[in-house]
């Protein structure tokens, strides 16, 4: 009896206990989504019931070759050998879809010449396909090396029925895995989308920013946000804190540029009573106040040099020393810093410590200037307009095409903040249902010969630059030179997007 047996004619007449096994297996099918678990326990059951020595479930690999998934009674090497050399047998089931049974493989005409059958001393074996519809997902293989004619057609029918159940379990589990994967991906997408909903932007540059944020927001990593004025550094710093697990704890902003130099250390790190004249009692510094929360060090480029080693200590050792004390106290404060200028320059000229710079920029995040991400302009402009309309529903509801063109072509030295102010002003001035170019109070595009206003503006900027260069960025002196008030000059500098830092003497 060494023929290929059609299964259909053999399904009747299974003994009672085998029917019970089938019933058990099919019942656990619903309960166990972890399909290898199911297959393992099923395999044990089958081996016992059929007296088989070894059992292997092979799945069809991506290239069609059999990959062992669950094995019983076979060690690694045997399995390896069997897989490699029993292709003839496995392929009959896996490629041709046949249920194969052999009483004595050693004398079986079909396998007599097979090296593997001889090497592995296989005597009795059965091999059936795992089918779903017209696809074959793998095969179920059983053998015995000492007993001839161990399996009969009834056993083969039984194994085929089990294989059918296995195939269903496999497919269910694959579907389940796919769904889980998809749900995870969707959830991630949705979170990514709404998590930073205040930060608008779909340009490639901003998408990169979001990706970095997504990765680091939950961590305690120190983040250095670099970007020109008005690019959203503070907005991002807040988003980092309020999307982290520290969100219920304090978020404290320190403007490093305006720290009074003699009080700075005490502000940041605290002091001991009597440490200096005004120190009437012990006081915690901001890093201690914000322990478990976040300290946002804005304008870190202006952090006085004497304070830098102490900040480095906070970042490295997570500890502070109050002014007047000798011991250090542990703090658990996350640091997010922002800089308007590239700190490389300050490191080069010795006004910013290199070791601190490296500690700060564990995660560097650069917010691109608005002129480098024009794609974001329409959505930002519309959103600022909507905000005006919330308070003032009869404000214009959109932008004329010409007005949008002006917005797109403008160079935005003040970046998003300038865009916001421009739109708010235009919304108040605009009398039509859509904002017109003249409501914007900006010059047209940057192409073509400069208009009179533009020429005047360019000259103005050049003069201011010249004065700032000469005075090394001293605004009062530059204002004197130009014959305008200090505040006026500050205002003009802002309009031209000039920063006195650029002109500081090196
Ligand atoms: N991507 C953005 N989406 C929505 N609003 C933004 C975005 N970027 C900036 N803004 C808005 O622009 C204004 C300026 O942003 P922010 O104060 O964060 O900038 P900044 O980089 O800290 O500026 P500065 O260097 O002058 O301190 C804020 O009103 C902020 O809400
Ligand atoms: Mg800011």
Cβ-based burial of 385 (10 A; exposed 0-12, middle 13-18, buried ≥19): buried
**What is the structure's pLDDT at 3?**
45
Among 17, 39, 14, residue whose Cα is nearest residue 29: 39
Alpha-carbon distances, residue 173 vs 40, 58, 182, 277 (angstroms)? 14, 16, 14, 73
Residue 205 in contact with residue 368, Cβ under 8 Å? yes
For ligand 1, atom 29: residue with the closest CA? 417
Q: For the chain, list the domains and their CATH numbers.
A: 8-177 (3.30.450.40), 204-368 (3.40.50.300), 371-440 (1.10.8.60), 452-503 (1.10.10)
CA of 248 to the centre of ligand 2 (A): 22
Residues with CB under 6 Å of ligand 1 are 199-201, 227, 229-235, 340, 380, 416-417, 420
**What is the structure's pLDDT at 14?**
64
Q: For 203, what's the count of Cα atoms within 13 Å in the CB-facing half-sphere?
A: 19
For ligand 1, atom 6: residue with the closest CA? 232
For ligand 1, atom 23: residue with the closest CA? 230
**What is the structure's pLDDT at 193?**
57
CA of 401 to the centre of ligand 1 (A): 25
**pTM score over 0.75:** no
Pocket probe mutation, ligand 1, options 224, 234, 384, max atoms within 8 Å of Cβ = 234
H or E, element range at 251: strand 251-255
The Cα 145–Cα 53 span in angstroms is 7
The Cα 377–Cα 393 span in angstroms is 22
Residue 301 in contact with residue 333, Cβ under 8 Å? no
User: How many CB atoms sit inside 10 A of residue 87's CB?
Assistant: 16
The Cα 44–Cα 54 span in angstroms is 10
Ligand nearest to the CA of 239: 1
Alpha-carbon distances, residue 442 vs 48, 128, 156, 370, 407 (angstroms)? 86, 78, 85, 16, 8
Residue 328 in contact with residue 214, Cβ under 8 Å? no
Residue 25 in contact with residue 162, Cβ under 8 Å? yes
**What is the structure's pLDDT at 446?**
43
Which residues are near ligand 2, the ion (C-beta closer than 5 Å)?
A: 234
Atom index in ligand 1 nearest the CA of residue 367 equals 21
CA of 226 to the centre of ligand 2 (A): 10
For ligand 1, atom 5: residue with the closest CA? 199
Strand segments, DSSP code E, in 61-190 are 66-72, 100-102, 124-132, 135-144
Pairing of strands 124-132, 135-144: antiparallel
For ligand 1, atom 18: residue with the closest CA? 232
Per-residue pLDDT of the chain (506 residues; tens, 9 = 90+): 444 444 443 444 567 777 877 887 777 766 655 777 777 877 888 888 888 888 888 888 888 888 888 888 877 777 776 666 577 778 888 888 888 888 777 778 777 677 767 777 777 888 999 998 888 999 998 888 888 888 888 888 888 988 888 888 888 888 888 888 888 777 766 655 557 888 999 999 999 999 999 999 999 999 999 999 999 999 999 999 999 999 889 999 999 988 887 789 999 999 999 988 888 899 999 999 999 999 999 999 999 999 999 999 999 999 999 999 999 999 999 999 999 999 998 999 999 999 999 999 999 999 999 999 999 999 999 999 999 998 888 999 999 999 999 999 999 999 999 999 999 999 988 889 999 999 998 865 444 455 666 677 778 888 998 899 889 899 999 999 999 889 889 988 888 888 888 887 65
Task: Please identify which residue in the block is written with the tokens 């769904």.
Answer: 179
Ligand nearest to the CA of 210: 1
CA of 420 to the centre of ligand 1 (A): 9
Q: What is the largest CA-CA distance in the chain?
A: 113
């Amino acid at each position: 009896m060494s023929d290929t047996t059609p299964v259909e004619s053999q399904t009747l007449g299974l003994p009672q206990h085998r029917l019970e096994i089938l019933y058990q297996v099919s019942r656990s099918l619903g309960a166990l989504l972890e399909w290898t678990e199911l297959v393992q326990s099923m395999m044990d059951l089958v081996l016992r019931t059929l007296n088989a020595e070894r059992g292997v479930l092979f799945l069809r690999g991506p290239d069609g070759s059999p990959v062992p998934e669950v094995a019983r009674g076979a060690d690694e090497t045997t399995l390896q050998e069997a897989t490699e050399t029993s292709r003839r047998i496995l392929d009959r089931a896996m490629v041709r879809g046949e249920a194969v049974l052999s009483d004595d493989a050693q004398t079986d005409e079909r396998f007599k010449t097979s090296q593997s059958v001889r090497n592995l001393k296989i005597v009795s074996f059965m091999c059936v396909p795992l089918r779903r519809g017209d696809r074959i997902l793998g095969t179920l293989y059983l053998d015995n090396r000492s007993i001839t004619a161990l399996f009969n057609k009834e056993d083969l029918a039984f194994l085929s029925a089990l294989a059918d159940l296995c195939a269903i379990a496999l497919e269910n589990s694959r579907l389940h895995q796919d769904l889980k994967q998809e749900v995870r991906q969707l959830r991630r997408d949705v979170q990514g989308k709404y998590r930073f909903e205040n930060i608008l932007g779909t340009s490639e540059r901003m998408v990169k920013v979001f990706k970095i944020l997504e990765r680091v927001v939950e961590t305690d990593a120190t983040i250095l946000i670099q970007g020109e004025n008005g690019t959203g550094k503070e907005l991002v710093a807040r988003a980092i804190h309020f999307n982290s697990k520290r969100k219920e704890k304090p978020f404290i902003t320190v403007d490093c540029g305006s720290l009074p130099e003699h009080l700075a250390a005490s502000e940041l790190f605290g002091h001991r009573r009597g440490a200096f004249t005004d120190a009437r009692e012990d006081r915690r510094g901001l890093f201690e106040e914000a322990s478990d929360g976040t300290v946002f060090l804005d304008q870190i480029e202006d952090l006085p040099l004497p304070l830098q080693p102490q900040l480095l200590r906070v970042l490295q050792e997570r500890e502070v020393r109050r002014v007047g004390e000798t011991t250090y106290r542990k703090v658990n404060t996350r640091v997010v810093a922002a800089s308007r200028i590239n700190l490389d320059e300050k490191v080069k000229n010795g006004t910013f410590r290199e070791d601190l710079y490296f500690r700060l920029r564990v995660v560097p995040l650069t917010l691109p200037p608005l002129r480098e991400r024009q794609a974001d302009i329409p959505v930002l402009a519309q959103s600022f307009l909507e905000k005006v309309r919330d308070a003032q529903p009869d404000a214009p509801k959109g932008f004329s095409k010409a007005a949008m063109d002006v917005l797109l072509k403008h160079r935005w030295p003040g970046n998003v903040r300038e865009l916001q102010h421009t739109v708010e002003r235009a919304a108040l001035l605009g009398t039509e249902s859509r904002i017109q170019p003249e409501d914007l109070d900006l010059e047209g595009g940057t192409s073509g010969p400069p208009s009179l206003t533009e020429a005047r503006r360019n000259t103005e900027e050049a003069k201011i630059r010249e004065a700032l260069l000469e005075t090394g960025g001293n605004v009062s002196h530059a204002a004197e030179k130009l014959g305008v008030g200090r505040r006026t000059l500050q205002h003009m500098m802002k309009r031209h997007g000039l920063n006195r830092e650029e002109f500081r003497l090196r």
